[in-house]
Amino acid sequence: MQNIWDELPKPYFVLAPMDDVTDTVFRRIVGDCAAPDVFFTEFVNVDGLQSPGRKRLLNRLQFTPKETPLIAQIWGKTPENYYKTAKELADGTFALESSNLEDTNFAGIDLNFGCPDKAVVKNGCCVALVNDRPLAQEIIQATKEGAGGKLPVSVKTRLGFNEVDYSWPEFLLEQDIAVLTMHGRTRKQMSKVPADWDAIGKVRELRDKLGVATHIVGNGDVMTRQQGLELATTHQLDGIMIGRGIFQDPYVFVSESPWHKMGALERLELYKKHVELFAETWGDTGRHVRVLNKFCKVYINDFPSAKHLREQLMNAQHTDELLQLLEQATKYEFTRA
């Protein structure tokens, strides 16, 4: 098996999986600005993929060779569906079906054991598996068997359910997974408190004590590459995952980001590029234009009429309307003598 994780220079940087954010469009935008060492897909439900609703979910796995290496993140409840999905990820079925790619495939499979969404947890999925370890073990084994040694299997999770519980990462480290990504909060904490990097460091110490080869990646509140490097050094981590930091700076993965020196016009032009790529990729049926609202404040800020323009953009119903508003802003806000 070619294990992409073992080939990366350490510490490596990873773009976190985020729902309705890290689709093929945004990954390409980030890749053009400053590519991470590893991309993740949005998380996609295995039970849905192995149902009549499969076609509707395929856009979550859509990608281009430009977004590699790419890890497919999956979640769900039924081990048999993890097995089937892992098998189809490993043999290239999903790369062909979602993206019409024959010679390019996913580089790995990640299990979402960390999502704290109330409905997801109530259904016994993701971080709820902290409290159902027999099922968690069954899911990991089913995924590894489905992958058939062709793709490495990793896990992204939290420090515990209601409180920090080191028996949880210890249990996961005993499952012979390629990577364990630790988000430095519990399910109860959601994102209401700062990430606990000392606890993440203790998970790395636990890995060393157990003598397993699993990489440890830290995640939570990283806003710059330099901050990530310092945390990786302090806690002797293999990698750093950045999520919300990408909203502060699309160039976060480079050492010297130009973002805060870029003018409003340059940022606006980058948003136009994002919208154009969204329209080209999804057309009128793939995804609703409201998805783009999540990105509006990333690009549209720090000039007098930014708030008014954001309000207009977020009320737009079609990409054509968005592009017209952006064109008008470019013409009248920034090119007047």
pLDDT tens for each residue of 94-116 = 999 999 999 999 999 999 999 99
What's the confidence (pLDDT) of residue 336? 46
Mean pLDDT of 181-200: 93
Output the pTM of the full model. 0.95
What's the confidence (pLDDT) of residue 302? 82
Q: Residue 332: pLDDT band by 50, 70, 90 thresholds?
A: low
Question: Strand 153-158's sheet: what is its strand order?
Answer: 12-15, 239-242, 215-219, 179-183, 153-158, 108-113, 70-75, 39-45
What's the confidence (pLDDT) of residue 42? 97
Residue 333 has pLDDT above 90, yes or no: no
What's the confidence (pLDDT) of residue 190? 82
Per-residue DSSP letters for 260-308? GGS-HHHHHHHHHHHHHHHHHHHTTTSS-GGGGGGGHHHHS-SSTTHHH
pLDDT digits (tens, 9 = 90+) for 29-57: 999 999 999 999 999 999 999 999 999 99
Mean pLDDT of 214-234: 97
Q: Residue 331: pLDDT band by 50, 70, 90 thresholds?
A: confident
What's the confidence (pLDDT) of residue 288? 87
Residue 160 has pLDDT above 70, yes or no: yes
CA 203 vs. chain centroid, Å, equals 21
Q: Residue 191: pLDDT band by 50, 70, 90 thresholds?
A: confident
Q: Show me where the domains of the chain are located.
A: 4-248, 262-333
Architecture of the 4-248 domain:
Alpha-Beta Barrel (3.20)
Strands 239-242 and 12-15: parallel
pLDDT digits (tens, 9 = 90+) for 128-153: 999 999 999 999 999 999 999 999 99
Residue 163 has pLDDT above 70, yes or no: yes
Catalytic residues: 115
Residue 284 has pLDDT above 90, yes or no: no
More confident: 302 or 280: 280
* Contact by Cβ (8 Å): 35, 67: no
